[in-house]
Chains A and B, each alone.
Chain A
Amino acid sequence: MLDFPTAAKLVRDAFRTRNQRKMRKANDKIMREWVLSPTDELYQLSVYSYVLAKMLSKPRFMGRTYSGKHKEIDSLLSRLVSFAQKNNQKEFSQTLLTLKSSIQDVESSDARYIKNMMEKGRLKTAATLYAQGISLSAASEMTGVEKQEIMDYAGKTLMFDRMGEGENLSKRLKKARKILTGGKK
């Protein structure tokens, strides 16, 4: 079981060391925990850790221009850990909101896509839930991402190749033939 302080620490340490791999691992762990204990705070941490991993992977966001923002994010993540350790839910949630706007500030100065990194983070989180086995509607409801978008993303991944296929194709076609054509070929 991954508690709030540990989850927040994982994100803080990964960002402090500017380690993208570590951030991705933190994101994986938080995601897995969130599926079992779906709280809004874990959801946000999950999305933000994804976005921070993305940020760490892009040289244009890691230059000197953004060093002030990086320090701000470092400090907010440390505060998150501290509030989580003190079990101060109110301040923890408030700090998450500030963290969100700090992350968004980084991208808004150099926006290049219709969908920003935060939205992509939400989409990726929703698609990961679906890939893990959560139903499409549940993934959509838990993240607020439209089904169409999850399907569009999922269709371009290998998620349907990573799981049993259910009934075999010939049986499925036989069944479908009966339903749709009355058995006629």
Chain B
Amino acid sequence: MKSNYVLCDASSLISLTVSCLDSLLPFFQEKFRVRFLIPKSVEYEAVTRPLSFKSKIHSFSALRIKDMIHDEVIEVVSENAEEETKELMRLGNSIFHARGRTVRLMHMGETEMLVLANRLQVPSLLMDERTTRILVEDPISMKKHLQKEFRANIMVNKKHLLDFSSKVKDLDVIRSTELLYLAYENGFLRHFNDIEKDAAEAALYNLKYAGCAVSFNELKEYAKLMVR
């Protein structure tokens, strides 16, 4: 097990760069020797593709990530896991059923992260996307959520759920807000002096507004922990 490795998906890189908090990655790399990995598909999604847009709307974020790859803060890994990814996606997409039809929640993009984490023996995932994280951590809350959203009874294929869960049971998913909080604990924002806590709280909100899947309740909890 590579315990100091973290596999990052595109969603976390997006919220970190959009909120100008991508310097968290070199902070952990330098201070705790954490190694951040991305598969080629994430590099394409977060760097190559946005840089091809004429509007340049996401270019700055993409360039910040490109720069971190250049500086070896982020390492790109070449690994092909297409078949396993398809299989896991097939399982994940056949767990929930509404009105006699399958609710297809998962996509190759996020599923590949789960497969690669297992294959590379990197059990830690940095992911700000919500659906995949909830499916890994608490699939039953997804059932309740789907029931509310579709106003229908959601049937669960228990076998597929168990099979899916057994394949992801060793994975730990963290979000960019956890990264920020721990960086704060370790002095990342110390230069703010007496407004350090305010800066940390504001930065957490910044990550939320950039799309990190964190609730306002959780942000309040973070704030309480900071007071202690």
Tell whether A and B belong to one assembly: yes
The size class of the interface chain A forms with chain B is 35 or more
A112–B170 alpha-carbon span in the complex (Å): 50
Q: Which residue of B lies closest to A172 (CB)?
A: B178
Q: For the complex, is A97 an interface residue (Cβ under 8 Å from B)?
A: no
Given A151-B15, A165-B215, A166-B138, check contact A133 B178 (CB 8 Å).
no
Interface of chain B, helix or strand or loop or mixed? Answer: helix
Q: Is B84 an interface residue (CB 8 A)?
A: no
By a beta-carbon cutoff of 8 Å, the part of chain B in contact with chain A is 3-4, 6, 10-11, 14-15, 18, 28, 32, 34, 45, 50, 57-58, 61, 98-99, 101-110, 124, 128-134, 137-138, 141-142, 144-146, 148-151, 172-175, 178-179, 181-182, 185-186, 208-218, 221-222, 225
Does the CB pair A163–B134 fall under 8 Å?
A: yes
Give, as a whole number of angstroms, the nearest-CB distance from A144 to chain B: 12
Q: Which residues of A contact B106 (CB under 8 A)?
A: 135, 138
Q: Is A173 interfacial (CB 8 A cutoff)?
A: yes
Query: Which of chain B's residues have a CB closer than 8 A to the CB of A159?
Result: 130
B150 contacts A32, C-beta separation under 8 Å: yes
4 nearest A-B pairs in the assembled complex, by CB-CB distance? A151-B211, A164-B141, A137-B109, A137-B107
- Checking A35, A163, A175, A177 against B141 with a beta-carbon cut-off of 8 angstroms, the contacting residue is A163
Whole-angstrom CA separation of A137 from B49 in the bound complex = 14
CA distance A124 to B149 in the complex (A): 16
Given A172-B174, A180-B28, verify A167-B209 contact (CB < 8 Å). Answer: no
On whether the beta carbons of A176 and B104 are closer than 8 Å, the reply is no
User: Which B residues lie within 8 Å of A65 (CB)?
Assistant: none
Complex Cα distance A182/B186, Å?
A: 12
Could you tell me if A134 and B105 are in contact, using CB atoms closer than 8 angstroms?
yes
Are B172 and A175 touching (Cβ within 8 A)?
Answer: yes
Is there an interface contact between A164 and B144, defined as CB atoms closer than 8 Å?
A: yes
Q: A135-B131, A148-B61 are in contact. Are A155 and B209 (CB under 8 A)?
A: yes
